[in-house]
Structure 1
Amino acid sequence: MADNNAKLSVNGKEYEFPIIEGTLGRPVIDIAALQDSGFWSYDPGFKVTAPVESKITYIDGGKGELLHRGYPIDQLANNAEYLEVAYALIH
């Protein structure tokens, strides 16, 4: 989208929400301002809703991916030393 916004039309009224591009994965529609419209969102099972923004972790539950600073978590757990993981967490 050129304007980088998603539009939602309800009962003839239009609402706009910013689209956020992450480093990995799909773009995200920020619906935080939806509460101002008088509506709620419904996402059964919390399947397509990100509860927080992270600059160091990427999760794709459907694919079974968990990355920390770009490294698969199993690679860190199996191959990295304690200090290497601690450094990655801090820096």
Structure 2
Amino acid sequence: MAELFLEIVELESGEIVLREMESDDVPVMKVSFSDDMKKRLQDQHLDVAKVMLSAGIHMAAEMQNKTAEAEALQKVEDEKPPVLH
């Protein structure tokens, strides 16, 4: 499987996106904050967005691993010879 390199970028629109590195393709994830929330975060919104996006990546990876494990277990079950009594 090819490695996927991602970057977090703040777009001109103010949205903070996670996308493939140096790509203008559709972002994988987006985070945006209202102007009021940016003020409340004391201009630390980029740091908050990084944590949010990072948590999303980790959760998606965990879900993918669980799915792969379940599929592997099902394959083992499917390959067992039938039991005749």
Q: Which has the higher contact order (CA 8 A, sep 6+)?
A: 2
TM-score norm. by structure 2 comes to: 0.28
Q: TM-score, normalised by structure 1?
A: 0.27
Structure that is richer in strand per residue = 1
